């Protein structure tokens, strides 16, 4: 069962509209693990997956639709990595059914600090959240073994880096450094 470990500020914001317990069901046939999530400013949520450091950026409000927005952001990131549609459906369903728990994910502390700073500066500055998300998934995180989250996702799902449209890793030379995107992620908008 997937869990989303929430910062105390995000947990307080969620108290009004997202059930902390998991939705009925659950999927054990997923590759992504648990997530760390926190509120950035008063408007955005940043979530980072523990195995790949895949980063999602969505609006907090309306709180009742947060699960759906997180799943839509995940769908976008996995489509950019050219993950199979069956795997995308399983991963999105697991995130929509995840347990929201009040506790920080200590292993992702540094990655979360970086993502919070970057997402806050870009998203609150008017850059669309899907564009901010795409940018963050090409930066290296110290906690991520791969050059960047986009490369880690490609490796986890067995996708050839050259067939991925996730873009190149910034800051380190990685397998995705030669990948070209047919349609940049920033040109597509998440459903709000």
Q: What is the pLDDT of residues 39-62, one digit of tens each?
A: 998 899 999 999 999 999 999 999
Residues 6+ apart with CB under 8 A from 180: 165
135 and 185 Cβ atoms separated by less than 8 Å: no
63 and 14 Cβ atoms separated by less than 8 Å: yes
Number of Cβ within 10 Å of residue 131's Cβ equals 19
Q: In this predicted structure, what is the pLDDT of residue 75?
A: 98
pTM of the model: 0.82
Under DSSP, is residue 154 helix (H, G, I), strand (E, B) or coil? helix
Task: Please name every residue paired with 3 in a beta bridge, in sequence order, or none if there are none.
Answer: 99
138 and 115 Cβ atoms separated by less than 8 Å: no
Q: How confident is the model at residue 96 (pLDDT cuts 50, 70, 90)?
A: very high
- Ranked by mean pLDDT, the top range of 70-84, 120-134, 142-156 is 70-84
Residues 6+ apart with CB under 8 A from 39: 7, 9, 10, 13, 45, 60
Q: Is the pLDDT of residue 20 over 80?
A: no
Find the range with the poorest average confidence among 88-92, 133-137, 169-173: 169-173
Task: Please state, in angstroms and rounded to a whole number, the distance separating the CA atoms of residues 146 and 2.
Answer: 22
Tell which residue, 90, 106, 9, 108, has the closest CA to residue 52: 108
Task: Please state, in angstroms and rounded to a whole number, the distance separating the CA atoms of residues 65 and 190.
Answer: 13
Q: Give residue for tokens 């697991």.
A: 94
């Amino acid at each position: 069962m997937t869990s989303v470990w929430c910062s105390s500020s995000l947990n307080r914001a969620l108290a009004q509209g997202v059930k902390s317990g998991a939705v009925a069901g659950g999927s054990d046939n997923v590759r992504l693990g648990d997530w760390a999530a926190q509120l950035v400013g008063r408007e955005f949520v940043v979530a980072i997956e523990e195995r790949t450091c895949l980063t999602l950026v969505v609006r907090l409000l309306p709180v009742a639709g947060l699960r759906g927005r997180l799943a839509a952001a995940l769908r976008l990131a996995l489509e950019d990595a050219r993950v199979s549609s069956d795997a995308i459906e399983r991963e999105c369903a697991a995130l929509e059914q995840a347990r929201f728990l009040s506790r920080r994910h200590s292993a992702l502390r540094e990655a979360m600090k970086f993502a919070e700073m970057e997402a806050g500066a870009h998203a609150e500055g008017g850059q669309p959240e899907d564009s901010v998300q795409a940018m963050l998934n090409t930066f290296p995180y110290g906690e991520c073994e791969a050059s960047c989250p986009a490369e880690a996702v490609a490796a986890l799902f067995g996708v050839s880096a050259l067939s991925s449209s996730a873009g190149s890793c910034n800051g380190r030379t990685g397998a995705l450094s030669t990948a070209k995107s047919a349609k940049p992620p920033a040109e597509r908008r998440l459903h709000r």
